[in-house]
Structure 1
Amino acid sequence: MHLKVGIILVICAIATADFSYDGTKGPSHWEDDYATCKGKHQSPIDIDMLHVKKVKLPPLSFENFDTQPLSTTVTNNGHTVMFTVEKEQGKEPIIDGGPFRDGGYEFEQLHFHWGDNDSYGSEDSFNGKHFPMELHVVFYKQKYGSFENATNFSDGLAVLAFFFIITHKPNPSYVEVTKLLQQISEPDTQAAFEEPLALEDYLHTNMNDYYVYNGSTTTPPCLEVVTWLDFYEPIQISHKQLGHFRSLKDHEGNLLSHNFRPVQPIGDRIVWLTSDKFTSNELDLHDKIYGEKTKPTKKSKMKNNGRMIMSGTTILLSMIVIDLLL
């Protein structure tokens, strides 16, 4: 008999978070209720591709990314589309290596950010250019025991960010996804995959080239506990498939068509680029990213009970892809 481990998340609480992407509860007002949203290391950011620093890192390790979960649930929580999974014990997707030197990160959930046109939608941008949609794959550091506890530490979360480009052909891995989206057009509704996909099936891209920087979750309370990995090569999706995301509704009954936070000041942060296309002296980024010791973070006092800890955002794009958008 299989032992089943359900991810019943903090994500239920997330769905009730009292924020919006418009009006008096929009991003410019988040700091009124969440002091941490005006921190100095916030996400998303604009990555100046001419000023990143190159570094050679150990290879990333993707454990159980090819394992099919027992089930996958897709939820419209009024802010985004979120995928949560029921996993067989011992087969949880884990990422390690790369900038992570002292322990792996376990998969928690994935979700998307998109815009109402093909010029905007991603949260991170590159040389001022955005992509129409961005995928965040959220992990928490295993040694902290849970997603909730991990948010207390500066190295608690890791988010893999992937950008999308529009193509004429539909992406086969997103065919069933877009069918399920038609069943969850209203907020606080969900549907389940008939045949759950392995995590790697949603990605199908080069996982060797990426940017890395330290930042925050991109939704309140904007905790500065995230190591961002923005992957260099985009994922393809058709215009019709993306249209199904844009047809979802939020809690006010409006189309959920621009659920992205504006870019934040980069401040004193460094964005690193690692790629198998170049070689250099291998550097130990851990102390550069986190400092000599891992420090607990201070959470903001909230005027409401809801908490939205989704994940920051970012990903990498080659100059070739940027040129395609010009």
Structure 2
Amino acid sequence: MDIKDNQALSAPAPGIATPSRAAHTWFISSYTFLALGCIVFYFILRLDILSLEKRYTTMFAKISLTGFFVFLVLVLSKLAEKLIDKNTHSLSVRYNMVRVVWLVTILLIFFILVSFFNSNWYTAAVSLGLISLILGFALQTPIASLIGWLYIVIRSPYKVGDRIQLSDFTGDVVEIGYLDTTLWEFAGNYMTNDLPSGRLIRFPNSLVFQGQVYNYSWNKFPYIWNEIPFHVAYESDLGYIEQAVRRIAKEEMGNEMEARVKELRQMIEQTPVDELEIREYPFVQFRTNANTWVEVLLIYLVEPKLSGSVRSRLIKRVLQELGKEPDKAMFPKTNAR
């Protein structure tokens, strides 16, 4: 099976749903209708058609004008989301851009509400300054997490859909909120392979400032090196084993992976790293074991999310192939294995 076939088997990570354009249109129409209703009601009050008392006219006029600007901001927000949905093909980039739009929308609505319901700008500014100072001391961790979210969006140490390791947490990123990140855990305490454990991990975004982020889904080269050890006896035909293992690995991984290795060579040539040399792919190495066998290492490239299934297929095929030539591929016959 070719790597391209395997890519079709990997479902998109939960939490990266494509927004419905029909839903965007419905929201835009609804907010536009409400905004027009507010501004029409505002002019009706200004023309004194309802003949209300002045204090009620002033209060309702302020409320209707505030509602008009709030709904106008919501219309612009939904238009921005629709444009992002239409012109952005990367799900992770779209996710981050929509989050930024939401944050700007919330801040604008808050500013409009404060502006219209507090006629004294100086008093409003002093009040906001005092509130911000108090909240700054009381909410240091959430504020640090919000700054962490900005860092994640701008510097992109990881994005939705990436497989990462941060501190003791390992998993696929399914959501990046303003204050925390959610992972769909793989391996973990109850699993010894790369399959999802079924648990969700939620940690504050401020952790990106406190440790290393290991990203296994780098967009320029979304593969990792993996190895499988096989134990054979000293009397085995190591040349035959090397050829057989490499041939099976090539058949399983397909020609696309060999092209990826060439890309990796080119990437390394563009860096100051000159000690690393990538030769024939896949690699088969031998090393002696402290017991009574030789260890055959098959080293290959694989997508992180497919490493478990690829490893299982390779082990089965290699053992079946070596078992056809028991005189050339002899396995240690000892209980110490």
TM-score (norm 2): 0.18
Query: Higher helix fraction: Structure 1 or Structure 2?
Result: 2
Larger Rg: 2
Query: Higher strand fraction: Structure 1 or Structure 2?
Result: 1
- Answer 1 or 2: higher relative contact order, Cα 8 Å, separation at least 6: 1
